[in-house]
């Protein structure tokens, strides 16, 4: 009979895929192959962890905030299309 464990939170340790330094985002800086990032993020989101511990940043990311991340988050936040108010709104939604 398999061991049944109840009420243990689903936690993911994701290394360099996600960063919570500054604001929650998909981390591209340390990727060897950027084309793999969208699939990696989708696979992580499919696991639906309750908490995500990133390789960069002090605070864990909630599972709900993880579901809102997109692979293009970093580039979207660094374009002229997003003003500082847009950045604050994205950070507020992610926390």
In a domain, 3, yes or no: no
Q: Could you list the residue range(s) of the whole structural domain that residue 74 is in?
A: 11-94
Residue 25 maps to a domain: yes
pTM of whole model > 0.85?
no
Buried b (16+ CB within 10 A) or exposed e, 36-73: ebeebbeebbeeebeebbbeebeebbbbebbeebebeb
Please give the tally of structural domains in the chain: 1
At 81 the pLDDT is 42
Q: Is 86 inside a domain boundary? A: yes
Domain assignment present for 49: yes
In a domain, 18, yes or no: yes
Residue 2 lies inside a defined structural domain of this protein: no
* pLDDT tens for the 95 residues of the chain, in order: 666 667 778 999 999 899 999 889 898 777 788 888 999 999 999 999 999 999 989 999 999 999 999 987 444 444 444 343 444 444 455 45
């Amino acid at each position: 009979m398999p061991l049944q464990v109840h009420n243990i939170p689903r936690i993911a340790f994701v290394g360099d895929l996600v960063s919570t330094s500054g604001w929650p985002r998909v981390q591209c800086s340390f990727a060897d192959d950027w084309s793999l990032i969208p699939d990696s993020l989708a696979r992580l989101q499919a696991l639906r962890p309750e908490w995500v511990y990133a390789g960069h940043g002090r605070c864990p990311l909630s599972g709900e905030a993880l579901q809102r991340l997109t692979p293009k988050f970093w580039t979207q936040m660094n374009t002229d299309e997003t003003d500082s108010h847009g950045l604050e709104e994205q950070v507020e939604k992610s926390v």
